[in-house]
Amino acid sequence: SAPTLAVIAEATPNSSAIVPQTIGFSALGLPLEVYRLGNGSARIVFVGGIHGGYEWNTVLLAYSVLDYLTANPASIPPNTTVEIVPAANPDGVVEVVGHPGRFSVAEVAADTRPGRFNGNGVDLNRNWDCHWTPVGLWGKTEVSGGAAPHSEPETQVLSAFLRDPPVQAVIFWHSAVPGVFAGGCEESFAPSTALAQVYAAASGYPYESAFTSYIVTGDSVDWLAAQGVPAIEVELRTHDELDWEQNIAGVLAVMADYSAGER
C-alpha cells in the first residue's frame, strides 16, 4: 500500500531493515548515508534533500521509496542495484527538523528557507563544476555557490560516489515546480533526455528540456551529464506533499526501462 503523510509521521528511525552506509560527511560533520538494495550490475541512484530542510518532502519521499522497495524486493530487477541517498544536505535538514535521520512532519519548522544551505551557508546545487559562479540565483535571491567548484564536502562526496563505479541513472528529487528536467551542461545529453522522458511519462509530470524560470549555475545533474552520467531532476508539485503515486510510478518505470536493456 502507498504510504501517506500520516504513516510517514509515525515512522521510527529504525523502521527500515536496510542498514545505511556512510559515504562521507557534511560541512558540520553529519553523515551522508546511502541505502543499497539489490545486487545487480546496473546502478540506479535516487537522491533527496540536496536543498536540505527547505525541500524536506523530497527527503521523506526518499525514505518512503526505500520502505516500499524494502517491502517489495521483487520490484527491483535482478540486474539492478538501487541506491538511495535520502538527504544530500543533512546540515540543512537538521536546521529545519532539529536532528539528522528520519523525522516526522510535525517536527518541520514553520520557516524552512534557512534549511536550503549547508553548514557553510552554500547552496549545494550551485556548487558543481558546470557554469559555476561564486554567486548563484535562487529565484531572485542571490546565494553562495561556494568558494570554488566542488568546494563543499557534500559535493566532493557525492561527485565521487556517483562516478565510481559507473552509474546508469541518477534521479534527484526537488520541490516544487513541477516537472522532470534532463541534465546537460554545454549541450543536451541524449541519455539524460531519454531518462527524463521515461520518468515523466510514467509519473505524469511534464517533461521539460530545460529549466527556464531563472539562470541556474553549478547544477548537479548538468555536471553529471558532462561526465557522461545520465541524470535528471524531478520537481514535485508542492513543498509539503510526496506525490507518492506519481513518483513510485516513475521509480518503477526507470528500473523496468534499464532491466529491459534499452540503455
Gap between the Cα atoms of 116 and 96, Å rounded: 9
Amino acid identity of 255? M
Gap between the Cα atoms of 164 and 149, Å rounded: 19
Other beta carbons within 10 angstroms of residue 123's beta carbon come to 28
Is beta strand 231-236 parallel, antiparallel or unpaired with respect to 169-175? parallel
pLDDT mean by block of 10 residues, the chain; 263 residues: 45 62 98 96 96 98 97 94 98 97 97 98 98 95 97 98 95 96 93 97 90 85 96 97 98 92 54
Contact by Cβ (8 Å): 36, 168: no
Gap between the Cα atoms of 229 and 42, Å rounded: 13
Q: What pLDDT score does 81 carry?
A: 96
| Closest to 125 measured CA to CA, from 190, 172, 163, 90 | 172
Q: What pLDDT score does 16 carry?
A: 55
Contact by Cβ (8 Å): 17, 54: no
Collapsing DSSP to helix, strand or coil, 102 comes out as coil
Q: What pLDDT score does 8 carry?
A: 45
Rounded to 10 deg, the angle between the 244-259 and 190-203 helix axes is: 130
Gap between the Cα atoms of 212 and 201, Å rounded: 21
Instruction: Say how many CA atoms lie within 13 Å of 131 toward its Cβ.
Output: 16
Amino acid identity of 225? A
